[in-house]
Amino acid sequence: MFTILPIKGYIDQIDGFYCNGVSAGLKPNGKFDVGFIYSDTPCECEAVFTLNKFQAAPLVHFQRYPKNFKTNFLLINAKNANALTGEEGIEDINAIFAELGKKFDLINPIMSSTGVIGNRLPMDKIINAAKSFDLSAKSGENLSLAIMTTDAYPKATMYEVILKDGSKFKIGSVAKGAGMINPNLATMLCFITTDANVPRADMKELLLRHTDTTFNAISVDGDTSTNDTVLLMANGKSGAYDKEAFSEALRLVMHDMAIAIVSDGEGAKKSVAFEVFGAVSDRDAEIAAKALSNSLLVKTALFGEDPNYGRIASTIGASRIECDPKTLTISYNDVVVYDKGKIVFDKECEIRAGEVLKNQTFKIKCDIGLGNGKFTAYGCDLGYEYVKINADYRT
């Protein structure tokens, strides 16, 4: 028995964590572009990283610390991914922390970067900005603004968990997303902090468990970045812990952030759940659901609010899972448009399906009709804005 309550505000509400965002001049017009999370005691820290073989320098830097290292400081910058920068990219991070160490008491500091791939970090700007940090600041809002790239709005979530003995802990997150969002993480950074007294061994296990149904279930464009990171920092200050409660709260945080990211896919106006069930295996359902969330023809039809279910069926067939048109049923929310091989898509059906598509969020349900395998993937539409953002991104 436990209670999980959503609460307002940012991760700065968690005991012992401090954060802020400032302008280092990387973004134009004085927008925040560098931020930090500081813990006044060393934190247990685990992360899940991109499957891209060209992991960016901050990810390599992190993984060179000894197993089970603790940290008290995370530095984050936007506009430059510090990716494809080789050993020099890692030396840059060490040089930054050497400078900051002269002013702050840093324990195994770590870094996280997002932005353009293939450029060295602008060292002076980042060092100067970071030296101005006030480590007693409590502005999760500024931090959430600093890590945005093409995000349309900041992303944060917070929960309080009350265990049956009355003890409590908090868990929350700030995240950024927008482009390169894909099964197997994305250019997404998600920083989760908690004062739960979570054992180190549980952190990695639970992060991995929930990644598959949250961040690995979303897609904006099918690209996998060099920098994807889900980071969990736990300072244990509440003294409270229950594995089941913590797992569920962590899942909620990760689900919230995954949905926030896909809803804010570059230029996206619609957030769609692709529920595939009745497949011969969960794996088959996952393949089909992800194929749907990644299909350009499906995504542009969503943008056009066109109940073109033929593209949905064709994408399932092209995914090569076990399937048969004679057992397949497709619905938009509860409007059935294809029923076990029968075309039921008359004029009235088209109007009702079209109404569903006008919503900002809805489900596309595909019953493969062959077994019990199921998976839900989350996607968005793709329109002119996506092209505009990505054709102009560097310039």
Could you list the residues that contact its own copies (CB under 8 A)? 50-55, 81, 83-86, 116-120, 179-180, 182, 184, 221-226, 294-297, 300-301, 303-304, 306, 308-311, 313-318, 320-321, 323-326, 338, 341-343, 345, 382-384, 386-388, 390-395
Closest CB to its own copies among 20 and 229? Answer: 229
Q: Which of 71, 114, 150, 187 is catalytic?
A: 187
Instruction: Please work out, in degrees rounded to the nearest 5, the angle formed at the alpha carbon of residue 292 by the alpha carbons of 287 and 298.
Output: 165
* Residues paired with 186 in a beta bridge: 181
Enter the tokens of residue 25: 């001049």
Please state the closest distance from residue 261 (CB atom) to its own copies, in A: 16
Please state the closest distance from residue 313 (CB atom) to its own copies, in A: 5
Closest CB to its own copies among 143 and 312? Answer: 312
Please state the closest distance from residue 288 (CB atom) to its own copies, in A: 11
The phi and psi torsions of 386 (rounded to 5 degrees) equal: -60, -45
Which residues have CB under 8 Å from 135's CB, separation 6+?
18, 36, 38, 104
Closest CB to its own copies among 89 and 154? Answer: 89
Distance CA 65, CA 107 (A): 11
Closest CB to its own copies among 145 and 380? Answer: 380
Closest CB to its own copies among 13 and 300? Answer: 300
Cα 368 versus chain centre, distance: 28
Please state the closest distance from residue 343 (CB atom) to its own copies, in A: 6
Distance CA 5, CA 2 (A): 10
* Residue 194 known to be catalytic: no
Element (H, E) at 60: helix 57-63
The residue among 143, 15, 160 whose CA lies nearest residue 75 is 143
324 vs 279, 339, 368, CA distance in Å? 11, 12, 8
Enter the tokens of residue 6: 């959503």
Please state the closest distance from residue 337 (CB atom) to its own copies, in A: 8
Active-site positions read 187
